[in-house]
Amino acid sequence: MAFAQIQAAPFLPLPWRAIRDQACCVSKAFTREDADASFSVPPPSSRSAPHPLTAYGARLLRLRRSELDNDDEHAVLHARLQAILDHAFVLDPAGGERVALGARVVLRSEANAERTVVLVTPDEVGFVPSGISAAAPLGRALVGSRAGESVTVELPRGTEELTIVAVDWPS
C-alpha cells in the first residue's frame, strides 16, 4: 500500500476509555515483590506562612469540615480542609461599596445576562459557591470597582465588558 493511500484512509475512532483504563495501571508482573516495602507515603505539603481566607469562605470551610468529621470515606478532603484552616487567618469583610476580597458582585454582560460571583482567595475556589479567585482575570478586573461601573476583562474567547450591578457582603 502506498503512503498516499494510507493518508487517504478514513479516520477510525479509537476506544479512548479502554485505552485510558489500561494505561493507568501497571501490571504487578513488572515490579519486584519487595518494591513496596521501602516505599513510604510522603507527608502532605503544608505551608509555613499563614494565608488569608475570607470570613464567608472560612465559615463554609469549617461547615464542610464538620460535615466530614466522622466520614472515613472523605478523610483526604477532611485533612485538606483542616490543613487550609490550620494555616490561615481570616480577613474581616471590607464592607463598603468597593469590590474587595469577600464581596458578592452581581454582573451584567453586554447581552444583558446577569451573573453573581463571590471574590475569594485561591484556596477557597471550589468551596465557595460562585467563587472566583481574586487572582483570576475577572477577579483582578473587579477589585476596587463600584456598582454602576463597567470593567473590561480579557478572556481567552476575547474581550468582554461587564457592568457591576450590585456589591454586597455575604455573612
Q: What is the total count of domains within the chain? A: 1
User: Is residue 50 a part of any domain in this protein?
Assistant: no
User: Is residue 143 a part of any domain in this protein?
Assistant: yes
* Average of per-residue pLDDT values in the chain: 79
pLDDT for the residue 8? 43
Count helices and strands (H / E) in the chain.
5, 7
Q: Which pLDDT band holds residue 14 (cuts at 50, 70, 90)?
A: very low
Q: Which pLDDT band holds residue 40 (cuts at 50, 70, 90)?
A: low
**pTM of this prediction exceeds 0.85:** no
User: Is residue 147 a part of any domain in this protein?
Assistant: yes
Q: What are phi and psi of 107, to 5 degrees?
A: -115, 150
User: Is residue 122 a part of any domain in this protein?
Assistant: yes
Indicate which CATH number applies to the domain containing 152.
Answer: 3.10.50.30
User: Is residue 153 a part of any domain in this protein?
Assistant: yes
Host domain of residue 137: 104-168
Strand pairing of 150-155 and 114-120?
unpaired
User: Is residue 117 a part of any domain in this protein?
Assistant: yes
Q: Which pLDDT band holds residue 6 (cuts at 50, 70, 90)?
A: very low
Q: What are the tens digits of pLDDT across the range 134-153?
A: 999 999 999 999 999 999 99
Neighbouring-strand partners of residue 89? 52
pLDDT for the residue 32? 63
**Lowest-pLDDT range, 3-17, 68-82, 112-126?**
3-17
Task: Please answer whether residues 49 and 13 qualify as being in contact, where contact means their C-beta atoms are separated by less than 8 angstroms.
Answer: no
Q: What is the mean pLDDT of residues 28-52?
A: 63
User: Is residue 111 a part of any domain in this protein?
Assistant: yes
